[in-house]
Amino acid sequence: MRSILQLIIVGCVLLITSILNAAEKPNVVFILADDLGIGDVNCFGGEKCQIPTPNFDRIANEGVKFTDAHPDVSHCIPTRMALMTGRHPWRFAAPKESGPWAFLTPRFSTETFTWGNLMHNAGYRTGYVGKWHLGTVMPTTDGKTQGPTNVDYTKSLIISPNDYGFDETFILPGSLDMFPYVFARNGVFQGNVTAQKGWSAFNRVGPAAEDFEDTKVLDTFSTEAEKFIAAPRSKDQPFFLFLALTSPHTPVSPSEAFEGKSGLGIYGDFVHETDDCVGRVLDALDDAGLSENTLVIATSDHGAAAYAGNIRKATPFQYRELEQLGHYSGGGYRGFKFSIYEGGLRIPFVAKWPGVIPAGKECDELIGLVDLMATFSEITGSEIPAESAPDSISFLPLLEDPDIKGHRDELVLQSTHAFAVRQGKWKLAVCPGSGSAGRYGNLPKTEDAWKDAVTAFGRTPQKSDLFQAPFVQLFNLENDPGETQNLAAEKPEKVEKLLGVLNKTIKRGRATPGPALENDRPVDPLVRVPGFVFRK
């Protein structure tokens, strides 16, 4: 009898402790813009920014802005993989066969421990609203791989974000210029998918819901976020909302209410509307009386696209026209989306948390989106399984005191064609040129840069030669933030040291302390070397 009573008492104590712990945890709202350059946000771009962004600026004024924040990769899907799992995307096995565009299949299995799982395990009500682009499994009429002609939209998704730790979801499967153009709520497609639509940027015409319009998507996502925040809930249960916007990624499609509002054309209007989505979230928190115990983070998945601007059609080098108007989406950094340079890999990142983050602070310490998993593990007290999130390092101490030294000093980054390594003020790009195809405006194009490097080398190189000048680029970002002076030939010892960081990170299967892990597939520190490099 006594043992039963003891069990009841222990159970009650654990329940009370759980409730008290939950009550102490902050609500969390994470807002991820798409293709938003660091110079597109006023509090980062300063005089080089001609777009009003009062809500990003409000978060910075009430909290902290990070000036050295980075995605894992300078384009979309791999960055979202790292953010969601705390693991570098190049460690994952190649995904199964996919259909085109948003018909892609899951980028990792449902057994993978995700940010959603972490927050759910911590007792949070978890929600995901917006662009998913990490793959789904759709029901098909023929049992074959999902694609434009065989999806049964009357049936629920077989694998959706709800299978990754999120209780409530409202998503667009891919980007706003990637069909199918249809929302899914908790895995159920919304509307009749009987239309064929496409948008101005690339004119990708494909399956669409009859009532789906590109100019209404931001308003729809903001409304869903507002509903999630305002929904009745247990007093002691905190919530976690991941709001993934589709803007200002092409198509540049501001709603009618925002056209002409920025003073910088439709691109400025679209960025301004993106910022307004942030404002609607802040207002919803204020209206619900939740702002004081909510951590809000707003950032971007990578740098701006060189082909986006005031011409609705995606047009190479459009950024030059914006620069003629005094607006620099890259904030003065070199390069854009897809590239190895900072314009593609340095992002706006602001956070506020009343009573924890001091107001009006600036932090120059190195952080990555991959670090969010460990950061929220520390905030919530929810444990990460031993082999999960192997590349995630908490920056909670920097939120509490932005003036101290952070825990991260090294970070491996990637473009479409190359690796880069950060260590303190130093950056090594393991390639010549922009590390990207350069079709839309990143220069030098990778093939041109490799040809010039082989010519400068003077003979056909061996693979081992490609880890030194003139095939790599070394920059001191403290003295040369624009990456104009390649110091690789002058400082071969620094090149070797940074290569050691890259090789160790690859070989150990993790960037954090602990037993070595296995990558899911072989990883070559040289990502894409043109075949002509080795030909005589």
Residue 483: CATH number of its domain: 3.30.1120.10
Whether the predicted pLDDT of 159 surpasses 70: yes
Local confidence band at 536 (pLDDT 50, 70, 90 cut-offs): low
**397 and 417 within one domain:** no
State whether 397 and 457 are in the same domain: no
Could you tell me if residue 163 is inside a domain?
Answer: yes
Residue with token string 């303190």 = 424
Domain count, the chain: 2
Say if residue 40 is in the same domain as residue 163: yes
On the question of pLDDT at 146 being above 80, the answer is yes
Q: What are the pLDDT digits (tens) for 61-95?
A: 999 999 999 999 999 999 999 999 999 999 999 98
User: In this structure, is residue 185 part of a structural domain?
Assistant: yes
Strands 64-70 and 410-414, bridge-based pairing: unpaired
Task: State the Cα–Cα distance between residues 488 and 475, nearest whole angstrom.
Answer: 8
Q: How confident is the model at residue 363 (pLDDT cuts 50, 70, 90)?
A: very high
CATH of the domain at 305: 3.40.720.10
If you average pLDDT over every residue of the chain, what do you get?
94
Is residue 297 within 8 A of residue 244, CB to CB? The reply is: no
Q: How many CA atoms lie within 13 A of 306 on its CB side?
A: 23
Domain ends where: 404, 430, 464?
404
Between CA 82 and CA 91 the distance in angstroms is 10
The three-class DSSP label of residue 510 is: coil
Q: Which residue has the tokens 């307004």?
A: 276
Q: Quick one: 433 and 381 in the same domain? A: no
Q: Is residue 15 part of a domain?
A: no
Same domain, 264 and 223: yes
Q: What is the rounded average pLDDT of the residues 348-373?
A: 98
Whether 243 and 382 share a structural domain: yes
pLDDT at 174 over 90: yes
d(C-alpha 49, C-alpha 230), whole Å: 34
Q: Please indicate, yes or no, if residue 18 is contained in any of the structural domains.
A: no
- Domain residues for the domain of 460 are 412-534
Pair 388, 509 in one domain? no
Q: What are phi and psi of 363, to 5 degrees?
A: -120, 125
Strand positions, DSSP E, 312-436 = 347-352, 361-363, 367-368, 410-414, 419-423, 426-429
CB atoms within 10 A of CB 288: 14
Q: Residues 189-213: what's their mean pLDDT?
A: 95
pLDDT on residue 24: 78
User: Of 381, 404, 427, which residue sits at a domain end?
Assistant: 404
Whether residues 296 and 149 share a domain: the answer is yes
Pair (443, 391) in one structural domain: no
* Entry pTM: 0.94
Per-residue pLDDT for 200 more than 60? yes
The reply to whether 354 and 435 lie within a common domain is no
Residue 99 lies in a domain: yes
Same domain, 311 and 432: no
Asked if residue 139 belongs to a domain, the reply is: yes
Q: How many CB atoms lie within 10 A of CB 520?
A: 14
Residue range 351-378: mean pLDDT, rounded:
98
Classify residue 5: in a domain, yes or no.
no
Q: Which of 364, 387, 404 is the last residue of a domain?
A: 404
Q: How far apart are CA 198 and CA 180, in angstroms?
A: 10
- The type of residue at 175 is S
Q: What is the DSSP letter of 419?
A: E
Separation of alpha carbons 46 and 471, rounded Å: 35
Quick: pLDDT tens for 431-449: 999 999 998 999 999 999 9
Cis preceding linkage at 251, omega within 30? yes
DSSP state for residue 418 in the 8-state scheme: -
Residue 502 DSSP class: H
DSSP output for 27-42: EEEEEEEES--GGGSH
Nearest to 422 by CA among 349, 369, 343, 476: 476
Percent of residues, the chain, with pLDDT higher than 90 = 92
The number of angstroms, rounded, from the C-alpha of 137 to the middle of its chain's C-alpha atoms is: 22
Look at residue 462 and tell me if it is in a domain. Answer: yes
Q: What is the pLDDT of residue 97?
A: 84
457 and 348 inside one domain: no
**SS3 assignment for 223-289:** HHHHHHHHCCCCCCCCEEEEEEEEEECCCCCCCCCCCCCCCCHHHHHHHHHHHHHHHHHHHHHHHCC
Whether 125 contacts 233, CB under 8 Å: yes
